[in-house]
Amino acid sequence: MKNTVSTIQKQKQEGKKISMLTCYDYSTAKLMEEVGVNIILVGDSLGNTMLGYEDTLQVTMEDMIHHCAAVSRGIKNILLVCDMPFMSYQTSVYDAVVNAGRLVKEGHANMVKLEGGKEVCPQIEAIVKASIPVCAHLGLTPQSINSFGGYKVQGKTEAAAKKLLEDAFAVQEAGASMVVLEGVPAKLAKLVTEKLHIPTIGIGAGADCDGQVLVYQDMLGMFTDYVPKFVRQFASVGEVMKGAFREYMQAVNDGTFPAPEHTYGIDDEVIEKLY
């Protein structure tokens, strides 16, 4: 069954948890499709995991479109959400609508995600008016790393918690269909989840959100530059890959790869004529 804005909303109403993972390529998307993940996020975290940047600020619209289109070719039923990169929506409402449109037309996204609360509500309203569903993103929003002065949990003081709750109501009112809560105390995320009628998706926000999202290289144990507290490594794929790379090198070195079954034949007569 195709996951849509309505099916995700229904999952919240029925208390069925929503599974979301990041993904940036066709082959991985196909694997997620086979197991029935609800939502893929082509996150601007691709700047870290795929492109090796220190933060997400250098990621461009072209990067997002390129990866989103690749993912879209590997899925049929998963709802595809694509991040709006830094400075593709903060500059003006006009830029926000044009760039959200590009992610849908060229990247084949079903929904776009942007970071921020009240300050981006005019952009959310305009994108939704253009018939593009929006996912908001509150709490530890990585595009604001320079204002935060580091990757720090957000909403811990009374004033910050009140602001986060107000922002959550504001993005819902502006028309967002979903909200990611990142790096937020679990009890605050629970309260936001209970107060909102749109689904909340947590990352470092406790178990009471309507759904969860993780960066797939983090949960597979492939990306070890930095492992945040909220990550569970569900596998050690990095170790499996290194083992396979080592075996391959060994087989190349000792001549056991390629074996006859990996090799194309030719009639001896043809070869002999060439000597």
Considering the rule CB under 6 A, would residue 43 count as an interface residue with ligand KIV? yes
Q: Which is nearer to ligand KIV, 11 or 45 (CB)?
A: 45
Query: What's the half-sphere exposure (Cβ side, CA atoms, 13 Å) at 238?
Result: 12
Taking the CB of residue 110, how many other CB atoms lie within 10 A of it? 20
Q: Which is nearer to ligand KIV, 153 or 244 (CB)?
A: 153
Considering the rule CB under 6 A, would residue 88 count as an interface residue with ligand KIV? no
**How far is it, in rounded angstroms, from Cα 89 to Cα 85?**
8
**How far is it, in rounded angstroms, from Cα 113 to Cα 178?**
9
CB of 92 to ligand KIV, least distance (A): 22
Q: Which is nearer to ligand KIV, 112 or 165 (CB)?
A: 112
Beta strands in 44-95 (DSSP E): 79-83
Q: Which of 173, 182, 239, 272 is catalytic?
A: 182
Stretch that binds ligand KIV, among 40-48, 166-174, 251-259, 264-272 (CB under 6 A): 40-48
Considering the rule CB under 6 A, would residue 210 count as an interface residue with ligand KIV? no
Tokens of 263: 């090799």
Q: Which helix (H) or strand (E) holds 21?
A: strand 18-22
**Number of residues in contact with ligand KIV under rule CB under 6 A:** 12
Q: State yes or no: is 115 an active-site residue.
A: no
**How far is it, in rounded angstroms, from Cα 64 to Cα 82?**
7
Number of residues assigned to the chain? 275
Q: Which value, in Å, is the radius of gyration of the alpha carbons in the chain?
A: 22
Contact assessment for residue 198 and residue 12, using Cβ atoms and an 8 Å cutoff: yes
Stretch that binds ligand KIV, among 36-44, 117-125, 144-152, 171-179 (CB under 6 A): 36-44
**How far is it, in rounded angstroms, from Cα 61 to Cα 70?**
14
Considering the rule CB under 6 A, would residue 116 count as an interface residue with ligand KIV? no
* Binder among 19, 22, 88, 200 for ligand KIV (CB under 6 A): 22
CB of 187 to ligand KIV, least distance (A): 20
The residues that are catalytic are: 182
Q: Which residues contact ligand KIV (rule: CB under 6 A)?
A: 22, 41, 43-45, 83, 137, 180, 182, 203, 213, 215
